[in-house]
Amino acid sequence: MTLTIALSKGRIFEETLPLLAAAGITPAEDPESSRKLIIGTNHPDVRLVIVRASDVPTYVQYGAADLGIAGRDVLIEHGGAGLYQPLDLNIARCRMMVAVQNGFDYDEAVKHGARLKVATKYPKIAREHFARKGVHVDIIKLYGSMELAPLVGLADAIVDLVSTGNTLKANHLSAVEHILDISSRLVVNQAALKLKYATIQPVLDAFAAASADNRE
């Protein structure tokens, strides 16, 4: 029975390689250099499909992939329908933060009940965060480079991922609120888990053991 695993290129692929290795799976090609979207492995019955990070839950939800690895940010925005999420892999760790341009008095704006323009790729997370705080916001949906928005007057604040803080610093922004800790999770198609249990469970066990090493 063929097992299809959905992964995105870049940090998720890189950080998943040791987990795949623990399950005895080695990709036949590097998606960074290959233009192929379906990549075979040393295992005749295991293949990888390379998709955009935010598309991973969709492929798994509809059963086009049996397993996938996606960030908590992406999973919250997707909503998680049809997905079993058995494992936090503790890879691609970062924080979802609110950030503003240096010099912008965020606390004062919030205190005075100002309506804030917030640019983000994560509208659901942002909306829920500001609703919890009782702050009125206009969400401006972007697909990347959020850090630019406050610099050119598109937004007062951004909601974005922060790891080292270098991107904020390079663009004269500062984090003012921590919303969530983010890491990537294994997601499994609920029907596939039942139908392909014997194939999926050993992979799940190997990932669980290998990802325990990623914990602090």
User: For residues 12 and 20, what is the distance between their CA atoms, to the nearest angstrom?
Assistant: 12
User: For residues 26 and 31, what is the distance between their CA atoms, to the nearest angstrom?
Assistant: 13
What would the x/- binding string for ligand PRP be over residues 114 to 153, using CB under 6 A? ------------------------------x---------
CB of 197 to ligand ATP, least distance (A): 28
Residue 162 near residue 168, CB atoms below 8 Å = yes
Residue 106 near residue 157, CB atoms below 8 Å = yes
Partner touching 182 among ligand PRP, ligand ATP, none, CB below 5 to 8 Å by kind: ligand ATP
- Given the complex with ligand ATP, which of 70 and 139 has the nearer CB atom? 70
CB of 66 to ligand ATP, least distance (A): 20
Interface residues with ligand ATP (CB under 6 A)?
8, 10-12, 52-54, 71, 73-74, 92-94, 161, 163, 182, 184
**Does residue number 214 form part of the binding site for ligand PRP (CB under 6 A)?**
no
User: For residues 16 and 197, what is the distance between their CA atoms, to the nearest angstrom?
Assistant: 21
**Does residue number 33 form part of the binding site for ligand PRP (CB under 6 A)?**
no
User: For residues 145 and 196, what is the distance between their CA atoms, to the nearest angstrom?
Assistant: 40
User: For residues 125 and 120, what is the distance between their CA atoms, to the nearest angstrom?
Assistant: 9
Which residues are at the interface with ligand PRP (CB under 6 A)?
A: 144, 160-167
